[in-house]
Structure 1
Amino acid sequence: MRILDRYIGRTVIAGTLLALFILLAVELFFSFANEIQDIGKGRYTLTDAFVYVGLTIPRRVHDLFPMAALLGSLLSLGTLAANSELVAIRAAGVSVTRIALSVLKAGAILLVIAAAIGEWVAPRTEQLAQQRRVLAQSEAITFRSEHGLWARDGDRFINIKRILPDGRLAGVQV
């Protein structure tokens, strides 16, 4: 049964990745088309738009994963059925429950990967993308260093040491 689990799992994972790739390509196309409208605001350039869309890919992967898993599983099982492989598996005495269990094992692997992306990768890249986008679109010149955030407003320089969790600023110097 290990061979069968690996075969069905590999088929389901490949189908899911294909569905995810197609959904992600469509999502990125429309997202980039939306970002083009913001080019020219402040110092926001075409390169900034590409970087922003690229940094939001992990969040988009996490958001699209359930739909991709469903479509990929259906696509994979449909391919197995079209090639009469499911019939051969059933003729070998494997129950429908056992086939479903093989699909669920592959789904569990995909679930762990999606959870890892959603918990560790996506929040960091999303925050970085938003920060870069806001800084590029702002008219003020800003700089982040180990001494806090520096901003220039005309002839004045503002240094903000920390932003507290409730949104208040600490250590502001003008």
Structure 2
Amino acid sequence: MRTVRRLLYHDILGAVVFVALAFLALFFFVDLVDQLGTAMRRGYPTWTAVAISLLEAPGNLYELLPIAVLIGTIFSLARLAQSTQFTILRTSGLGPGRALALLATLGAVFAVATLLVGDYVAPWADQRAQRLLLDTGGARAGTRGGAWLKDRYVHDGQPRSVSVHVQRLRADGELRGVRLFVLDDRQRLVEQVVAESARIDDDAVWHLKDVELRQWPDAAGSDGATPAVTTRRLDTWQWPGTLRADVVKAAVLPPNTMSTAELWAYVRHLRAQAQDVQRYEIQFWKKALYPLACVVMVALALPFAYLHARSGGISAKVFGGVMLGTSFMLLNSVAGHLGTLRDWTPWLAAGLPGIVYLSLSLAAFAWLVRYR
């Protein structure tokens, strides 16, 4: 069985790597053309466009790896079936259960690789790309309109609620265009802070620069008088909030660029502030379950090994695999949007495509084993 495992794994791994490299080369060319056009408009050098395109490759690999696993596995198994090698393996004792277990193990390895690329390699490369853009003409990180966050803390024994707006996040972690609106326990404005930039230390203390601070000292009074507003300009100012850097980063960046840990931290923050978490919780579950798509892909590919060699050539089977993979990705995207609109259970909305396609593949596999 060790020889069988080595044969299957070596053949499938080589095919998956080949398909992944082909896809990466295609997407690198597309990204390079786009970056060269941007470089001409912004005036940064050509080598920067090439470097940025290379740094975008890990993110592309994360998105493409399940499709590459499906196409590579189908190609490998169809080739083995066409050359009757898989038939020989079956007659030598490779039963359906053993074949499914072998491919599921390989799919789990691909799933771990997808998780590592998506949570570590791709974010690191994206940060380097944005820092490179900053050094060569300025780049922006974050959503187009910035992000709003809420926080609660106690100041001099009085509860405070804060609405925080961050315009954008630089690649080096600096926040730009920061505004804070501090309300007392009766929801009256007591402080307004506008800062050009800010950094957050490990204790969640915000260090703001170029600050305009407006205060309403008598806002909590009961005499009905109009509160006196004081305005000060400060070079630096510290705000002892509870918002950590990873939570702010998760709020400012688009959800699909966050790591699983950042999404989970942001979901916990939204729950603590009694805010709507449906969208980000679905995105968290999609991110957490996405690597398991590799297991679904190898399960989808296994029935192709049991098709008769004359049931279409290898190219037809690979084309069928491409259609299957595309439909899976489309359903995965649509299910997330439907889950948000219909308020579905987040883990079910994220895992529904995988459950459907895994069930279909196992049903097709069982039918082929029994009747073909």
TM-score bin (small chain): 0.7 to 0.9
Q: What does the per-residue CA deviation read over 1:39-63, in whole Å, with 9 as the maximum and x for residues that have no partner?
A: 2334411111011011111111111
State the alpha-carbon separation in 1 of the partners of residues 113 and 29 from structure 2.
24
Letter in 1 for 2:76: S
Alignment partner, residue 136 of structure 2: 136
Alignment partner, residue 123 of structure 1: 123
Bigger Cα Rg: 2
Letter in 1 for 2:125: T
Cα 1:23–1:169 change in 2 (3 A) is: farther
* TM-score of the two chains, using structure 2 as the length reference: 0.38
State the alpha-carbon separation in 1 of the partners of residues 11 and 111 from structure 2.
16
State the alpha-carbon separation in 1 of the partners of residues 60 and 44 from structure 2.
22
Counting only pairs closer than 5 Å after superposition, residues 136-155 of structure 1 correspond to structure 2 as 136-138=136-138
State the alpha-carbon separation in 2 of the partners of residues 83 and 42 from structure 1.
54
State the alpha-carbon separation in 2 of the partners of residues 138 and 87 from structure 1.
59
101-110 vs 52-61, greater mean Cα deviation: 101-110
Q: What does the per-residue CA deviation read over 1:43-92, in whole Å, with 9 as the maximum and x for residues that have no partner?
A: 41111101101111111111110110111110110121122110100111
Please give the secondary structure, in 1, of the residue aligned with 2:38: coil
Please give the secondary structure, in 2, of the residue aligned with 1:137: coil
1:163 shift after superposition: 6.5
State the alpha-carbon separation in 1 of the partners of residues 53 and 90 from structure 2.
45
**Which structure shows the higher helix fraction?**
1
Question: What's the RMSD between the two structures over aligned residues?
Answer: 2.8
Tell me if structure 2 keeps the 8 A contact 1:42–1:136. Answer: no
Q: What does the per-residue CA deviation read over 1:98-141, in whole Å, with 9 as the maximum and x for residues that have no partner?
A: 222212211111111121111111111112212322442339xx
Structure 2: gaps (5+ residues) = 140-169, 176-195, 211-234, 236-372
Alignment partner, residue 365 of structure 2: none
Identical positions, percent: 23
Tell me if structure 2 keeps the 8 A contact 1:161–1:171. Answer: yes
Alignment partner, residue 279 of structure 2: none
38-47 vs 62-71, greater mean Cα deviation: 38-47
Please give the secondary structure, in 2, of the residue aligned with 1:127: helix
State the alpha-carbon separation in 2 of the partners of residues 169 and 46 from structure 1.
37
State the alpha-carbon separation in 2 of the partners of residues 48 and 61 from structure 1.
20
Letter in 1 for 2:20: L
Please give the secondary structure, in 2, of the residue aligned with 1:116: helix
Tell me if structure 2 keeps the 8 A contact 1:12–1:106. Answer: no
Counting only pairs closer than 5 Å after superposition, residues 1-174 of structure 1 correspond to structure 2 as 1-138=1-138, 160=197, 162=199, 170-172=208-210
Tell me if structure 2 keeps the 8 A contact 1:12–1:76. Answer: yes
Q: Considering Cα pairs closer than 8 Å and 6+ residues apart, tell me whether 1 or 2 has the greater RCO.
A: 1
Please give the secondary structure, in 1, of the residue aligned with 2:40: coil
State the alpha-carbon separation in 1 of the partners of residues 7 and 16 from structure 2.
14
Please give the secondary structure, in 2, of the residue aligned with 1:138: coil
